[in-house]
Amino acid sequence: MMERTMWDELWIENDVAAAELAAAVARAYGLDTNDVVIVDGIASDPPRDARIQVHRTRGAGEFAIRIQLHGAAPSDRGQFCAKLASALTCKVLGDDGNINPFSFMLYEPGNAMRVSVDPQKLEEHVPVVIGPYDDRTEEDSHPTRPIRRYPLPTEHRATRGGQISHIVNEYMVEGLPRPPLVEWPPETTETYETLTRLLSTLAFRTASDDELASIRTWSDQLRTTFADLEKAGWFVVEVLEASTIVLAEPWDPDLPAIAIKPA
Indicate if the pLDDT at residue 155 is higher than 50.
no
- Return the pLDDT at 54: 95
Q: Check pLDDT > 70 for residue 47.
A: yes
**Torsion from C-alpha of 62, 64, 68, 73, nearest 10 degrees:** -70
C-alpha–C-alpha distance, residues 6 and 53, integer Å: 9
Q: Measured between alpha carbons, how far is 114 from 121 in angstroms, rounded to an integer?
A: 18
Calpha distance 216→202 (Å, rounded): 14
Indicate if the pLDDT at residue 12 is higher than 80.
yes
Higher pLDDT, 236 or 12: 12
Task: Return the pLDDT at 3.
Answer: 57
pLDDT greater than 50 at residue 140: no
pLDDT of residue 19: 96
pLDDT value for 154: 37
Q: What Rg, from alpha-carbon coordinates, does the chain have?
A: 18
Side by side, the strands of the sheet bearing 111-117 are: 36-40, 52-60, 63-71, 6-12, 92-95, 103-108, 111-117, 129-132
DSSP secondary structure letter of residue 34: G
| pLDDT-derived band at 184, boundaries 50, 70, 90 | confident
Please state, in angstroms and rounded to a whole number, the distance separating the CA atoms of residues 134 and 216: 36
Contact assessment for residue 107 and residue 82, using Cβ atoms and an 8 Å cutoff: yes
Model confidence at 50, in pLDDT bands (50, 70, 90)? very high
**24-33, 117-126, 230-239: least confident range:** 117-126
Q: Which residue has the higher pLDDT, 1 or 196?
A: 196
At 233-255, the pLDDT tens digits run 888 888 999 999 999 888 888 88
Give the pLDDT of residue 151: 32
| Cis-peptide into 47, omega within 30 deg | no
Report domain extents, the chain: 6-137, 153-246
pLDDT at 158: 73
Give Cβ neighbours of residue 92 (< 8 Å, ≥ 6 apart). 10, 11, 12, 13, 81, 84, 85, 106, 107, 108
Model confidence at 148: pLDDT above 60: no
Q: Which of 64-68, 119-123, 189-193, 234-238 has the highest mean pLDDT?
A: 64-68
pLDDT at 53 over 90: yes
Degrees, nearest 5: CA angle 126-144-247:
55
Q: What is the pTM of this model?
A: 0.54
With helix as H, strand as E and coil as C, how does 129-177 read? EEEECCHHHCCCCCCCCCCCCCCCHHHHCCEHHHHHHHHHHHHHHHCCC
pLDDT at 136: 52
Decide if 31 contacts 52 (C-beta within 8 A).
yes
